[in-house]
Every structure is written in C-alpha cells, then in structure tokens.
Amino acid sequence: MKAALICLVAIVHREALRFVSQRGRFLAAIVRPLVWLIVFAAGFRAALGLSIQPPYQTYITYEIYIVPGLCGMIQLFSGMQSSLSLVYDREMGSMRLLLTSPIPRWWLLFCKLFASTAISIFQVYTFLAIAALTGIGFSPAGYLAILPALIVNGLMLGALGLLLSSTIRQLENFAGVMNFVIFPMFFLSTALYPLWKMAEASTILRDICAFNPFSHGVELIRFALYGQVDWMALLWVLLAFAIFLSGSLWGYDPSRSMVRRKA
C-alpha cells in the first residue's frame, strides 16, 4: 500500500517536472482556448443565436456558452499529449523501466493517468482565471463544482490517450491522432454548438454528437458550472472511461501487448 503511494507521488512529480520544463506546451495549452474564446467566439456571437436551455436560465452570450467546451478542449489536448509522451517514453525506453517495476502494472498505468489528469486540471483553471480577467467569469461555487467533472473527464480522455498509446507504434503516427481523434471529437461535439443547432444542419451529425463521449464530458462541465449534475452525461463519461481503460490494460498486458511485436 505504502509502496503504491510512493510510486503515485513519484510519477505525478515526474510528470509535473516535465510539464514545467516544457513551457511551450503550457503556453500553447492556454493560448489555444483563449484564441477561440476571444477571436472565434466574438465573431460567432453575431451569427449564432442561442435559445434558453438548461442549465442556462437566461439568454447567454456565445462566449459563456463555449467556455465548458474549451475546458474540455484543454483536457482533450492534454490527454492526447500525454499519450504522445507515452509513445515517446516507449521509444526512449523509459516505459520499459516503468514496466519492470514490481508494482502491479495496472496501478502504474493508473498513476500515469492520474498525473496527466492533474496537469490538465491545472491548465483548465489557469485558462478560467485568464478568462475571468477578460470579463468572462462564473460564480465561485461553479468553479469549485466543476472540479469533480474535470477529474472524471480528464480520466476518460487520459484513458483514451493511454489506449491510443498502446496501439500507436511510432511518434510519426501522432499527426493521425490529431486528424482522426482530436478534431472529430472536438468538432462533432456540443463544445461549439448545442445539439439542437446541430440538428438543424443534419440529424446524422446530431446523432454523432450525442454519441460522442466528449460531448458528455463537456455537458458535465457545463452543468457543474451552475452547480448541477447532468446524470446522463456522468454515466456516459464513466462508461467511456471504463471501456477506454479496459482497452488500454488489455493493450499493455504482457501476454498479448504491443510490446510483444518486435519494435
């Protein structure tokens, strides 16, 4: 038990050190959603009318609408970036070092997941603080209430990254992750438009959005910002987390894993 905790602290600490040393990564993680918030949302405000829908009780500006989606975006990028770092770790051999630890492998992978979630939450709060400075703020209780939502969403996206890292064999393939995972997940979700707006364009697109676990992660954050729980979204995110995690544990199983294939 004690050994497991020591291991967790060390892995989180190492990931945090690595994150701090990569200032560019932090800067990109914060600037990206801010550009969306300040430039994209400003342009869209005029074009897009939003009706009153839960959890909102009054008309809101588009900037307010996309903040939860941008929080999700930060976590999406962060989760994928940590999967990139896992592929890098594997190419550089430090993954081997990790996997030869006598601590059970599922716990080691969970520690990695926990570390990447913690880092993504730190980024989200930094973004929210800057957004608040530009006048796009929420209630203090809302900021607190999104913490559990961010944890669940971060774990779900981190597990997806872990699953991808067990199947991606080389760093070059990461561009594919960008095209085939990050972009579709983000654009085909409720991050930028509500479901009914999507339905106006196409019912198929609407159905894809409703199926996308990232949509549910975003809705979970959106409701939490107003002190509410979207139970359906929570269930959906937990289900996706369970599926992604089992997939990655399967991928890292020594008896049939990717490491079995000769590198």
Partner 1 sequence: MTSGLDVRGITHRYGKKTALNDIGFSLDKGLFCALLGPNGAGKSTLFSILTRLFVPDAGEVMVDGHSLAREPGKALARIGVVFQQPTLDLDLTVRRNLKYFAALHGLAGKDADRRIETSLEQVNMAERAAEKVRALNGGHRRRMEIARALLHGPAVLLLDEPTVGLDAETRSSITGHVHNLASEQGLTVLWATHLVDEVRGSDHLVVLHRGKIHANGNAAEIAGDVSLQTRFLEMTGGGK
- Per CB under 8 A, residues contacting partner 1 are 2-4, 6-7, 9-11, 13-14, 17, 21, 92-94, 96-104, 108, 254-255, 257, 259-262
- Tell me the closest approach of the beta carbon of residue 234 to partner 1, in angstroms: 33
- Measured from the CB atom, is 97 or 232 closer to partner 1? 97
- Tell me the closest approach of the beta carbon of residue 258 to partner 1, in angstroms: 9
- Measured from the CB atom, is 97 or 239 closer to partner 1? 97
- Measured from the CB atom, is 108 or 188 closer to partner 1? 108
Q: What dihedral angle (degrees, nearest 10) is formed by the CA atoms of 55, 57, 59, 60?
A: -40
Q: Report the alpha-carbon distance of residue 166 to residue 189 in Å, rounded.
A: 25
CA atoms within 13 A on the CB side of 175: 1
Q: Report the alpha-carbon distance of residue 34 to residue 73 in Å, rounded.
A: 11
Query: 222-234: buried (b, 16+ CB within 10 Å) or exposed (e) per residue?
Result: bbbbbeeebeebb
- Tell me the closest approach of the beta carbon of residue 261 to partner 1, in angstroms: 7
- Measured from the CB atom, is 17 or 147 closer to partner 1? 17
Rg value, the chain, Cα = 19
- Tell me the closest approach of the beta carbon of residue 63 to partner 1, in angstroms: 38
